Chain A
């Protein structure tokens, strides 16, 4: 890859910023990674078993009728009912990524958009510490409605942290790239530049860890290509959860991630009371899963080399007293009830694991698949899923 002056400067600044945060520069990793790729699909934000894996009531037919044949379904996965454990999106995502409950702290932001910071290493950090994998090959794909989840790329831990972080792809990151580049190049009138500065400042208000607008050079290049293709208006690119698939598929081609987490989220719109938003969003994720699986199968380097781990961040209520029983996910028993589907090389095919399993087992299991130990994970490796 040819590095331009600006991308070089950006990379240098990011490295200095890392050092400046006191989290240490990344030491040389021990070995190159030769294991399978892993794509974690967060089937969020919050879905019940009934509308997803229930054979009769599913709105995700591809998942239920086709993908289950490719791997192993764990229909009774749960989020533990512990003091302080919340059944919500950020919390559930961190349960998956860190393999621990309550492994986060609030960065002082309040309702409705709490910014949680992981306090334990994430899967990205375990992977990048164990293997020589650059940040842009450990990716978090995030939606446009939840900027507070942009910063799950690393935890606060003295042996891990920012040196082993992942990169994030999202419209938030694209806007950072767009405005920063516009300001650097001085593109536009004074008013346009002032507006760009204002927008950039607004975006950076979400950046409670003060990481700044710069991303690694390959990711900046990714965004430049994205802008050339979709323009910068935001009106051309796919929207909602379809955007995440577009980012993921482009990332597969351009950034070649070894570990990627795609945070689907749109079923959560049912908070506002329209049940069709929930069922429709599940159906959309199902279609997007098909696109993603097809994209993997069409790529020689990913075909038969990629394990998919599909798991909801949390369940939803099943409240018979409400007109929309699944409107929320407020720590009810049903909100603790999730599931998981895992398929790919080395994983049992067409099976159902009829045992109660815990959401924190995902991190330990991904570690086992990729050949590292997620030391901080509380859950056990799902031994039963392997061939």
Chain B
């Protein structure tokens, strides 16, 4: 696991960014499924509260970017990372991530000053959700380097997409429930969509991390890392399953801020451990 602990800033970045961005997928579902907008028409305070709390996932992504800075030897030149647009997968990842941040911040600021109409809200939050999913995929794709056989697989983006949908979903629910809005939208397609999204997310996360591990298991040169990562892999998968339960229970039973908060904590830890497993499996085709 030595390589994993050498990449703590990147593990933190990929965890916080995918979870924070994913919250906007659930927020978009909430506003697009109609019932929330309708039921909140009569209680603008709740809507205001949701908007205020939407800064939590934005701050998570921001914290992710700050963590990534600690990985750089010259962070003050970080903007140079935009030079490789279209060519370097790392640049593409940063560009999509920044695009998400800009849209999410514009959404948040315009909503807070009360200038966000229902139509514009739906468009902005949807764009943020699409960018969140793209960001998650691009984070994973950036690791698909042909000379690193244990990373160069589609399981890399699949796992991050899973973290984004399952973990981001929990943070989205956290925002909604902290504004006491979940009970207003527990009817209608929102519930079914969010449960499906959490299931797909958990499946993608577990298939992604498990598939990655199986690919590495087939590579003789990685046998030492594979053996060392085993208990961490099991811990991460167990946490992801628990987080799935904590995401679904508040949707099929009475919404509870306690359960959702616990879910956020569990998913944060399990995704972080999953990322450590990913970095621990690093080897190259060479020396």
The judgment on whether A and B are partners is no
List B residues at the A interface (Cβ < 8 Å): none
